[in-house]
Amino acid sequence: MDRWKMTMCGVVCALWMVLPAPAAGQTAATTPDPADVETLDGILAAVYESISGPAGAPRDWDRFRTLMADGARLIPTGRGPNGAVGMRVLAPEEYIELADPGLVQGGFFETEVGRVVERYGAVVHLMSAYESRRAADDPEPFQRGVNSFQLLHDGTRWWVVTIFWAGETPDTPIPDRFLGGIGG
CB count within 10 Å of CB 69 equals 19
In contact, 3 and 11? CB cutoff 8 Å:
no
Tens digit of each residue's pLDDT, the chain (184 residues): 554 344 334 433 333 334 444 444 444 347 999 999 999 999 999 999 999 999 999 999 999 999 999 999 999 999 889 989 999 999 999 999 999 999 999 999 999 999 999 999 999 999 999 999 999 999 999 999 999 999 999 999 999 999 999 999 999 999 999 998 776 5
pTM greater than 0.75 (yes/no): yes
Q: Domain spans of the chain?
A: 36-175
In contact, 133 and 145? CB cutoff 8 Å:
no
Alpha helices in the chain (DSSP H): 3-18, 34-37, 40-51, 61-67, 92-106
Which residues on neighbouring strands pair with residue 152, listed in sequence order? 123, 159
**Collapsed DSSP state (helix, strand, coil) of residue 158:** strand
CATH code for the domain defined by 36-175 = 3.10.450.50
